[in-house]
Amino acid sequence: MTSTPIDLFASALHFGPDGDVRAAARQMTGDGSGTWQIAAFHVETDADVHADHWETHPEAEEAVCCLTGGVRLHFRPDAPGGPEEVVRLREGTAVIVPRGRWHRLELEAPSDLMSITLRDGTRLERRTDSH
């Protein structure tokens, strides 16, 4: 078997439940196969991290890693009108997003990020003033 480098900014690594690992296109949602995704992103603007949307992963926790730069990870309030919880990530730090917790990102600077999660059931919801 010949091994070749994989550009993590152009594709993702998919870890199957059977132990297989393959490079593949990034996916926003899973296909129900139980495949975990590790994806790296170079982001320049809030639009690159869909800051105007909340995201949730009901099937697993997510590790959000800041490799370079800085971001703010916002957790949606449990009760309408409540305050958002904000976690600041600086270069070399990560946070675990609990399973099923709505969250979003905002940039503090252009950044390189990595996310690790099971994408099955992932949902996006446009952010409104009510949450």
Q: Please tell me the class of the 12-126 domain.
A: mainly beta
* pLDDT tens-digit readout, 5-61: 999 999 999 999 999 999 999 988 888 889 999 999 999 999 999 999 999 999 999
Q: How far is CA 77 from CA 82, 124, 125, in A?
A: 5, 16, 14
Whose CA is closest to 53, among 74, 25, 32?
Answer: 74
pLDDT tens digits, one per residue of 68-105: 999 999 999 988 889 999 999 999 999 999 999 999 99
Strands 36-43, 53-56: pairing is unpaired
pTM (2 d.p.) = 0.91
In the chain, the amino acid numbered 65 is C
Instruction: Evaluate whether 13 touches 21 at the Cβ level (below 8 Å).
Output: yes
Three-state DSSP class for 47? helix
